[in-house]
Structures are given as C-alpha cells and as structure tokens.
Amino acid sequence: MPDPASAPDSSFASAYFALPGADRPLSEPVSTVIAAIEADIIRGRILPGNRLIEDHLMEDYGARRHVVRAALEELERLGVVVKPRHRGAELRRFRAQEIARLYDMREVLHRAAVRRMAQVPEAGLAEVERWLALHRDAAATGDVVAIHRANMMFHQALFELCDNVFITMAIRQHDWLSFPIRAYGVADAEALAQACGEHVEMVALLGRGELDALENLVVSHMAKARRIYEQKFVNPAA
C-alpha cells in the first residue's frame, strides 16, 4: 500500500484508492476523472438522478472520451452510476426501500467484522490510528476528496482487523455502493465533526477490547449521512 504521507496534503492523489479490485489498478487519467466526479457529488454539483453526459464531462474535466467512458464504467461497476434503458448514465438515486435494505446489509457486514476482532495485532491497531490522524488532518483542510478517501481508509483498516478478506471486500463494495448516500456526511460540518469524534471513540473501544460497544457504534455511525440523504432526496418535506 503506498504511503499516503507522500501525497500532496490537498489531494491525497497517491493514497491507496480504496476501490474493490486492487488487482486491476486504474490508470491515472481514469482515477483523476473518478476523483473529479467524486468531489462534485460530495459538493452537491452532481445530484442523485442527474445525467452524466460524456461530452459535458470531457469539457468539465479536460479528459478524452475513452477516459471519461472508462471512469463511468468503473463507477457503474461500483454501483455509484446506473444506466437506465434509453437514458444513459446517471448518478444512482435510492428509493426508501432500497436504502433500508442496503443499510441492513451494511449492518450485517459491520457487525460480522467486529465480532471477529478478538485478537488485534499491534501493527493493525497502529494502522487504524494512522488513518485516524490522517482523516482528522484532512477534515481540518476541508478537502472533500481527501476527507472521503481518508475516511474510507480508516474504516478499511479497522475492518481488516477481522482477518477475513471476504468480509472486508464485501464491506468495501457496499461502502462504494452507498457512496451517493454517504457523500452528504462529508460536506456537512456537523456530520463530519460527529464522524471524527466517533472515530476516536472506535479506536478507544478497540484498544480496551470493548467489542460489544464497538459493534453498536460502527452501526450507529452510519445513521447521520443516511438521515441527511433521506431528508434531501426521499422525504424532502420532512
């Protein structure tokens, strides 16, 4: 895993890109376009259901068509982008029932991971603490891509302590699938502050071996961003 400390603080450009399928790394131009789309989703420039038109993306990001197309294909593979028949690519927009089922699955996976953390190696705990600090530092800069990536890597390092690659791979896949929902917790100051505080508490609970409390926290930790999304796009009148 490349050391994110070597990346520019403003972009995390060379940080490990937490995409499922690390055995098929993306080219730098494709990763750059994905990062640009990622940032525009977090900033609210691309909203759920918005069309992602290749010509517009080429102009916005200064990229060639085949690069934009490859980025959209990767985001479609991750579930972030969908291509309804006769409509082209668009950012996934979740219905209430889909959100409930998705978060039910995420809860199952997160609980399963924590229940397998009885023996935590010092090196593993140190890696979680390293990403805790990097996420805190990213949050202080306001760089939404850096915050998102550091958050992904904090949780990846945490859940990898379960020592079951199939569970952690499934968690990572569902993290990306839920990205259009989770994105709203990155740009919201209150949600970000709450996430930073809960990350600190997770590490403390892990260090004390309080796995029951940690299990409950990693589940409740998901609620804030979900609630923001539902208020914006599922129940706007609320």
pLDDT tens digits, 196-207: 999 999 999 999
Does 31 or 219 have the greater pLDDT score? 219
Percent of the chain past pLDDT 90, that is, above it, reads 77
In the chain, where the domains are located: 22-91, 96-234
**Nearest-angstrom CA–CA distance, 57 and 36:** 10
90-to-46, 67, 85, 134 alpha-carbon distances in Å: 9, 17, 11, 32
Q: In which band, very low, low, confident or very high, does the pLDDT at 235 lie, cut at 50, 70 and 90?
A: confident
Please identify, in words, the CATH class of the domain defined by 22-91: mainly alpha
At 24, is the pLDDT very low, low, confident or very high (cuts 50, 70, 90)?
A: low
Evaluate if residue 211 carries a pLDDT over 90: yes
Q: Let me know if domain 96-234 sits in CATH 1.20.120.530.
A: yes
Report pLDDT for 145.
Answer: 83
Write down the pLDDT at residue 11: 42
pLDDT on residue 19 = 55
**How many C-beta atoms lie closer than 10 Å to residue 2's C-beta?**
10
**pLDDT at residue number 46:** 97
Q: Which residue has the higher pLDDT, 95 or 119?
A: 95
**pLDDT-derived band of residue 81, with 50, 70 and 90 as boundaries?**
very high
Give tens-digit pLDDT for 151-170. 999 999 999 999 999 999 99
Q: Model confidence over 107-163: pLDDT tens digits?
A: 999 999 999 998 899 999 999 999 999 999 999 998 888 899 899 999 999 999 999
| pLDDT score recorded for residue 202 | 98
Helix (H, G, I), strand (E, B) or coil at 82: strand
Is 69 a residue whose pLDDT tops 60? yes
Q: Does 6 have pLDDT greater than 50?
A: no
Q: pLDDT confidence of 216, banded at 50, 70, 90?
A: very high
Q: What percent of the chain has pLDDT over 70?
A: 89
The pLDDT value given to residue 23: 56
The answer to pTM > 0.85 is yes
User: b or e along 172-183 (b: 16 or more beta carbons within 10 Å of the residue's beta carbon)?
Assistant: bbbbbbbbbbbb
Contact partners, residue 35, CB within 8 Å, separation at least 6: 11, 13, 145
CA dihedral 81, 83, 87, 88 (to 10 degrees): 70
pLDDT at 71 over 60: yes
CB atoms within 10 A of CB 222: 18
